């Protein structure tokens, strides 16, 4: 039996919000980012760093795909959507595809 191995597309988004005056300000942006990636792509999303910092947060989105090409496409779409919707903020994006 020849099983195909799944691929995992992972996008790490670092958000710097110099204008955030409170954790509530930052969390509104982070929540919007997380909810959008979940709704648009069905990605698993979590804030993984900067939870108690008002001007910094790190969000990771992950999605499974059945081929490397599909994983690359999903990763590109995640990054493009994030830049389009949150490009007004200071963002740093890093993507990776791994075979599972």
**Read out DSSP for 40-64?**
HH--EEEEEE-TT-SSEEEEEEEEE
Tokens in use for 46?
A: 């979590």
pLDDT at 1: 61
pLDDT tens for 47-59 read 999 899 999 999 9
Domains, the chain, in order of start with CATH, read 7-99 (3.30.70.1120)
pLDDT tens for 5-29 read 899 999 999 999 988 899 999 999 9
pLDDT tens for 35-79 read 999 999 999 999 999 899 999 999 999 999 999 999 999 999 999
Nearest to 39, CA basis, from 15, 70, 9, 61: 61
């Amino acid at each position: 039996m020849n099983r195909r191995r799944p691929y995992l597309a992972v996008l790490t988004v670092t958000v710097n919000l110099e204008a955030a005056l409170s954790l509530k300000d930052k969390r509104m942006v982070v929540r919007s980012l997380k909810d959008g990636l979940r709704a648009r792509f069905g990605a698993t999303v979590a804030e993984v760093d900067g939870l108690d910092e008002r001007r910094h947060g790190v969000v990771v989105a992950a999605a499974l795909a059945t081929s490397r090409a599909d994983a690359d496409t999903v990763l590109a779409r995640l990054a493009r959507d994030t830049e389009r919707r949150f490009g007004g903020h200071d963002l740093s994006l890093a993507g990776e595809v791994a075979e599972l």
